[in-house]
Amino acid sequence: MSNNNIVPLDTYWMPFTANRQFKANPRMLSEASGMFYRSDDGREVLDGTAGLWCVNAGHGRKEIAEAVYRQLQKMDYAPPFQMGHSDAFVFADRLARIAPAGLDRIFYTGSGSESVETALKIALAYQRAIGQGTRTRLIGRERGYHGVNFGGISVGGMVSNRRAFPTLPGVDHLRHTHDPLRNIFCDGLPEYGVELADDLERLVQLHGAETIAAVIVEPVAGSTGVLLPPRGYLERLREIATRHGILLIFDEVITGFGRLGAPFAADYFGVTPDIITTAKGLTNGSIPMGAVFCGRHVHDALMVGPENAIELFHGFTYSGHPVACAAGLATLDIYENEGLLTREATVLDTWRTAIQTLRDAPFVIDIRTIGLVAGIELAPRIDAPGARAYDAFVDCFQSGLLIRTTGDTIALSPPLIVDTNHIDRIVTTIQSALSRVT
């Protein structure tokens, strides 16, 4: 039985939601276990999105719940400024061991957006510390999503997130890499577009390398519809950034912690940035937390001056929160014990092959897959972009599957514990939803 009639809907201003449309016809979740949610009218809903790209080990993990409970009883909170608690150090050490080589200095935040702000500020502080204080410019990319704070929307490239707000001065953007004309239905990384990385070289020619601190990209852009980097693109970006003394930041808020079948996208692509931002899968989505992985060179450049001087004037009340650290440690145990950071190729192949069968479904104009991610792009309805995908989303939810849509792309990112039966159910549910939408 739905209890919508007794839930007061008016007061809560929902994020990134069409509030009036939602409240006229709410979709409510009330329980979660393994691969499934339960809606408040008692229906089982298969989670095709790991919540919001975060519940990588599946829902309701007892080990995390117990660790959180224990920590809350032992010590609920500890101030992170000029004070420490052991789990914050132990967790950082554990994270450093799974990090791409060299990225072994960890700064804690409370979310992906905070990780992005932190990374951008660390990049600026680093350049100043090495005597490159003229490097204040930040470079992002069109169609990038880096959270919702002012730094993140400035380097981000989603027009709706930017148009109502002022953005940082001295920011420029690379062109996005989405080129459906050349890369349509490519099975694997796009063949064409490596030259788009040369945009960084052009911006160097335009602004002068000595003005540019850092470039930030999502290795795989999630929020604008699962856009994969063209073959060789990230390598070339790395090469140009290094040549010009520009720090390379990978925003791995969604690609971190096994999403691509490797611990990080940096591992998957074999390209090592100077800084990596993470959140989401860090605690399996259970307790809000983010972490910024910094190269040793970046960190060490700031460990200078008198020993009693604070090296970086930055941090959050909830940096290294003991309960979040406990959740994170329990999450890492699960990832390691169950091999979730490197799921076997057979599962990834089953995923890719099954998703590719949707290419003949109604309205599908492109499919992009990588690791346990898929983007299924639908032809937009004339004069109503996004409406068709939204209808598919509602239809799937009614049929017991949670998907996510952005524009007219269905984005899938199931918990990494997904098996063949779940994959079949995801594909058949989407197939029949697409046969019903108009």
Instruction: Report the distance separating Cα 407 and Cα 409, nearest Å.
Output: 6
* Cα dihedral sign, 83-86-87-92: positive
Selected from 49, 111, 224, 284, the binder of ligand PLP by CB under 6 A is 111
Cα end-to-end span (Å), the chain: 30
Nearer to ligand PLP, 278 or 429 (CB): 278
Nearer to ligand PLP, 113 or 319 (CB): 113
238 binds ligand PLP (CB under 6 A): no
112 binds ligand PLP (CB under 6 A): yes
| DSSP letter for each residue of 120-186 | HHHHHHHHHHTT-TT--EEEEETT----SSHHHHHH---HHHHTTS---SSEEEEPP---HHHHTT-
The minimum distance between CB 131 and ligand PLP, in angstroms, equals 30
Selected from 91, 145, 318, 397, the binder of ligand PLP by CB under 6 A is 145
Nearer to ligand PLP, 289 or 334 (CB): 289
Question: Binders of ligand PLP: how many residues, by CB under 6 A?
Answer: 14
Show contacts with ligand PLP in window 276-305 (CB under 6 A). 279
| DSSP letter for each residue of 265-317 | HHHHHT---SEEEE-GGGGTTSS--EEEEE-HHHHHHHS-S-TTS-S-----T
Tell me which stretch binds ligand PLP (CB under 6 A): 141-149, 188-196, 268-276, 336-344.
141-149
Instruction: Report the distance separating Cα 245 and Cα 239, nearest Å.
Output: 10
Selected from 116, 217, 226, 266, the binder of ligand PLP by CB under 6 A is 116
H or E element at residue 407: none
Tell me which stretch binds ligand PLP (CB under 6 A): 3-11, 249-257, 363-371, 416-424.
249-257
108 binds ligand PLP (CB under 6 A): no
Name the residue with tokens 């899968």.
Answer: 281
Show contacts with ligand PLP in window 165-224 (CB under 6 A). 218, 222-223
Binding mask 251-270 for ligand PLP (x = CB under 6 A): x-xx----------------
Instruction: Report the distance separating Cα 223 and Cα 146, nearest Å.
Output: 9
CB contact at 8 A, 252 and 119: no
The minimum distance between CB 110 and ligand PLP, in angstroms, equals 8
Encoded amino acid at 118, one letter = T
Q: Which residues of the chain form contacts with ligand PLP (CB under 6 A)?
A: 111-113, 116, 145-147, 218, 222-223, 251, 253-254, 279
